[in-house]
Amino acid sequence: AQSVTQPDIHITVSEGASLELRCNYSYGATPYLFWYVQSPGQGLQLLLKYFSGDTLVQGIKGFEAEFKRSQSSFNLRKPSVHWSDAAEYFCAVGATGANNLFFGTGTRLTVIP
Amino acid sequence: NAGVTQTPKFQVLKTGQSMTLQCAQDMNHNSMYWYRQDPGMGLRLIYYSASEGTTDKGEVPNGYNVSRLNKREFSLRLESAAPSQTSVYFCASKRQGPGANVLTFGAGSRLTVL
């Protein structure tokens, strides 16, 4: 069965500190993987995606993620967090020809000055 | 460049009332989706339309109906609202073709059923 696990419900980091948000997936086919960000009261915006090739992908706003097939993980990282990064982050998995994406339950990021 | 537009943004209903959430996209995308977002549960697919003229059930279709009015518009109807349908609803669309699994989301519609 397809599923996405984001084990951290809420993370608090200081501005300027590094960040890593965890994502583990279970998917029968070769996965497409995504990270979306949702600011309060807004829809979801795509941060980055992995379809194939280089397992380290770069996204918008200075985020990157690394696909590790052996660990079924796709963790999101940022070297230096800004106050504007405070939001909720969702990991999602899909596949070629699939009609649906499966979303994790989200990780809320709080940034303290 | 509107993208995906949802109306209304907020709605309060009483149990048993009906309403329709509207969604329109201007990106010429073939596929459209309705998700609901509940605390601690992420996004769950209600219905989707892979192309104009087709609709299919997702994970949580009970209590909802949809209409793919044309390529641009995909509406979600609650015939008899229940408190369990209190949620934030998101419409999304995606194009066909290589690398086409990227969903574009609307801003959401917050529904409260009393």
How far apart are the C-alpha atoms of B11 and A110, rounded to whole Å? 29
Backbone angles phi, psi at B112, to 5 degrees: -120, 130
Residue type, B50: A
Give the model's confidence band at A2: pLDDT under 50 very low, under 70 low, under 90 confident, else very high. Answer: confident
Is A1 a residue whose pLDDT tops 80? Answer: no
How far apart are the C-alpha atoms of A62 and B101, rounded to whole Å? 22
Q: Where are the beta strands (DSSP E) in A1-113?
A: 3-5, 10-14, 19-21, 24-26, 32-38, 44-50, 56-58, 64-68, 73-78, 87-94, 102-103, 107-112
Nearest to B106 among A43, A95, A98 (CB): A43
Q: What's the DSSP call for residue B95?
A: -
Is A21 a residue whose pLDDT tops 90? Answer: yes
Per-residue confidence (pLDDT) for residue B98, from 0 to 100:
63
Per-residue confidence (pLDDT) for residue A52, from 0 to 100:
85
Q: Is B40 in Cβ contact with A101 (below 8 Å)? A: no
Is A65 a residue whose pLDDT tops 80? Answer: yes
pLDDT tens for residues B72-110?
999 999 999 999 999 999 999 987 766 667 899 999 999
Interface test with B, best of A99, A102, A105, A108 (most B CBs within 10 A): A99
Nearest to B48 among A42, A100, A105 (CB): A100
Nearest to A101 among B40, B41, B103 (CB): B103
Q: What Cα–Cα distance (Å) separates residue B112 from each residue in A27, A47, B13, B50?
A: 34, 30, 6, 28
Residue type, A35: W
How far apart are the C-alpha atoms of A60 and A11, rounded to whole Å? 20
Q: Is A49 in Cβ contact with B102 (below 8 Å)? A: yes
Burial of B72 (0-12, 13-18, 19+ CB in 10 A): middle
